[in-house]
Amino acid sequence: MTPTTYDTIFQQVIVLLQKYAPESGPINEETELVNDLGFDSLKVMEMLNDVEDTFDITYPLNSLSDLLTVKDFTEQIQSHVENS
Amino acid sequence: MSILDKLCVVSEARNALLPPGVDPFNVVIEEIYSATEASIQGRRVLLAGTNNYLGLTFDPQCIKAAQVSLEKEGTGTTGSRMANGTFAGHRDLEKDLASFCSCSEAIVFSTGFVANLGVISTLAGPGDVIVLDADSHASIYDACRMSGAEMIRFRHNNLEDLEKKLKRLGPKAEKTLIIVEGIYSMLGDCAPLAEIAALKKKYGTWLLVDEAHSMGVLGDHGRGMAEAAGVEDDVDFIVGTFSKSLGSIGGYCVSNHPELALIRYVCRSYVFTASPSPSTIASVRAALQAIQTKPQLRTRLWDNATLLYQGLKELGFELGPDLSPVVAIRVPTREKTLLAWQTLLDRGIYVNLVFPPAAPAGMSLLRCSISAAHTPEQVDFILETFSDIKNLMT
């Protein structure tokens, strides 16, 4: 069953992000994917594969341009989960 | 913050990676002697990374055709295709390409990059969906962004992932363009095009294939992967380049959809850039003839590719998954890749050095591309040299 509440998705997003940024400090809603976690384009693409599998969604690349923080990312995923 | 700060980041990355005086990304061919030999860094080297698959850059008929055109038509068109840049030769080449590919429509562009940029960004627009292979060329990614269409990436050559994404499209499938390549430029692996075409039909989408590295290389007549896979009728649009098998520069798109002709009026990279010079067009027309009349070139190309691929495999190198004229050798670290690349050059062989993100999945590669013009002795020399420097690469 794919999670649909913001909080449940947020918790899973944190786990995923920690996998790709193991050296980072604590991750919260305001953490920025590029500036704080150091994600480059390759890492983002790998991470998106994981996100798509975990939430059983298609994540369009266009969505990346609106992405800054973990909160943005979680809200986007939630929107894709709800519309899938 | 200055507008130039982002370039400082590039400078730091370059300085961290490259020792002073070594820049594999700014190699100068000081003199070119043939399709397979040149002078680089003051020494004569064997070219094993030029995408010159059929070796036609020095074909006497291609050169003669270009010379005649140069004398007769001058050095350039000084205009775009839509204005004064369509000469009779441009239209003749379009007829040649349409005939060669058994398509009703063909359009010639100034490069393969702008062919992708123009065709894809004009065909797809806001409200449409593009489903592209993750390892697609930069020109495809840029074109998709320019189109304004929703961009969905599927894992490289992964049919299961592609189908999963097509299934989720629902009614949007009819406004969806799948984009794949015949042979992928970095690892030389081939698209499973028969299966992709079957999915295209199953879900009612459209299909565009970039045959940049497969035209002249694959298929009984050299038409590319669509021909080799027996799915030419299922491919809606084929884009290609003149700068690989055809030994020149330029790009094209062919299709059986008559609507393709209409993009001449609205495709920005067709309307707003100068057209290929007449001599370029003349040499491409001669090269296209060579592809059709000299099937032995493809035979030699594949003989050489087999020699190199099998030879490197027997030496224990980690290669791309498919035998093709693009032979990519995976090297564990960037430092070792760089050292091996420079050592190869010092010993008289030029290959391409590829780092991420140009190489997929974070790999560092030494990328060879083999040519019909290579002699078996030259291929042996490449193998012997790789064997000698193997310890630097593991």
- Domain boundaries, given as residue ranges, for chain A: 6-83
d(CA B237, CA B119): 9
Closest CA in chain B for residue A58: B165
Asked whether B336 and B363 are in contact (CB, 8 A), the reply is no
User: Within its chain, how far is the Cα of B94 from the centroid?
Assistant: 19
Q: Check CB contact of B153 with chain A, cutoff 8 Å.
A: yes
Q: Is the pLDDT of residue A24 over 90?
A: no
d(CA B161, CA B370): 32
CA-based nearest distance B176→chain A, Å? 13
| Predicted confidence band of residue A1 (pLDDT cuts 50, 70, 90) | low
d(CA B119, CA B238): 10
| Mean pLDDT split into 10-residue runs, chain B, 394 residues | 88 85 90 98 96 98 98 98 97 98 98 98 98 96 97 97 96 97 97 98 98 98 98 98 98 98 97 98 98 98 98 97 97 93 96 87 91 98 98 91
At B301 the three-state DSSP class reads helix
Q: Check CB contact of A84 with chain B, cutoff 8 Å.
A: yes
Instruction: Sort out which chain B residues have CB atoms less than 8 A from A60's CB and list them.
Output: 150-152
Q: Does residue B328 share a domain with residue B222?
A: no
Residue A70: phi, psi to the nearest 5?
A: -65, -35
Q: Does residue B308 share a domain with residue B373?
A: yes
pLDDT value at residue B152: 97
Q: Does residue B192 share a domain with residue B136?
A: yes
Instruction: Sort out which chain B residues have CB atoms less than 8 A from A84's CB and list them.
Output: 168
Cα–Cα separations (whole angstroms), residue B216 to A35, A43, B178, B234, B257: 45, 35, 23, 20, 23
d(CA B394, CA B387): 12
pTM over 0.90: yes
Q: Does residue B192 share a domain with residue B44?
A: no
Q: Check CB contact of B194 with chain A, cutoff 8 Å.
A: no
Q: Domain count of chain B?
A: 2
Mutate to test the interface with A, among B151, B162, B203 (most CBs of A within 10 A): B151
CB within 8 Å: A61 and B151: yes
| Predicted confidence band of residue A84 (pLDDT cuts 50, 70, 90) | confident
CB within 8 Å: A61 and B362: no
The answer to whether position B282 is within a domain reads: no
The answer to whether position B328 is within a domain reads: yes
d(CA B134, CA B354): 17
pLDDT value at residue A8: 94
Mutate to test the interface with A, among B133, B150, B175 (most CBs of A within 10 A): B150
| Predicted confidence band of residue A2 (pLDDT cuts 50, 70, 90) | low
Q: Which residues pair with B31 in a beta bridge?
A: B39
Q: Domain containing B143 — which CATH number?
A: 3.40.640.10
Q: Check CB contact of A60 with chain B, cutoff 8 Å.
A: yes
Q: Does residue B301 share a domain with residue B271?
A: no
How would you label B214-249 residue by residue, b for 16+ Cβ within 10 Å and e otherwise? bbbbbbebbbbbbbbbebbebbbbbbbbbbbbbbbb
Q: Does residue B300 share a domain with residue B252?
A: no
Q: Is the pLDDT of residue A71 over 90?
A: yes
Q: Domain A6-83 falls in which CATH fold?
A: 1.10.1200
Asked whether B126 and B99 are in contact (CB, 8 A), the reply is no
Q: Domain containing B34 — which CATH number?
A: 3.90.1150.10
Residue whose pair of structure tokens reads 């038509």 in the numeric block: B73
Q: Check CB contact of A83 with chain B, cutoff 8 Å.
A: no
Q: Is the pLDDT of residue A26 over 80?
A: yes
Q: Does residue B264 share a domain with residue B139?
A: yes
Q: Does residue B87 share a domain with residue B231?
A: yes
Cα–Cα separations (whole angstroms), residue B249 to B217, B245, B263: 17, 10, 21
Q: Does residue B353 share a domain with residue B242?
A: no
**Structural domain boundaries enclosing B85:** 77-276
Q: Which residues pair with B39 in a beta bridge?
A: B31, B44
Q: Does residue B331 share a domain with residue B368?
A: yes
B339 CB contacts (<8 Å, ≥6 apart)? B392
Q: Check CB contact of B303 with chain A, cutoff 8 Å.
A: no
Asked whether B316 and B390 are in contact (CB, 8 A), the reply is yes
d(CA B197, CA B204): 10
Q: Using DSSP bridges, classify how beta strands B364-369 and B352-354 pair: parallel, antiparallel or unpaired.
A: antiparallel
Q: Does residue B173 share a domain with residue B270?
A: yes
Mutate to test the interface with B, among A58, A65, A66, A83 (most CBs of B within 10 A): A58
The answer to whether position B287 is within a domain reads: no
CB within 8 Å: A61 and B165: no
Q: How many C-beta atoms lie closer than 10 Å to residue B78's C-beta?
A: 12
Instruction: Sort out which chain B residues have CB atoms less than 8 A from A44's CB and list them.
Output: none
CB within 8 Å: B134 and A58: no
Instruction: Sort out which chain A residues have CB atoms less than 8 A from B152's CB and list them.
Output: 58, 60-61
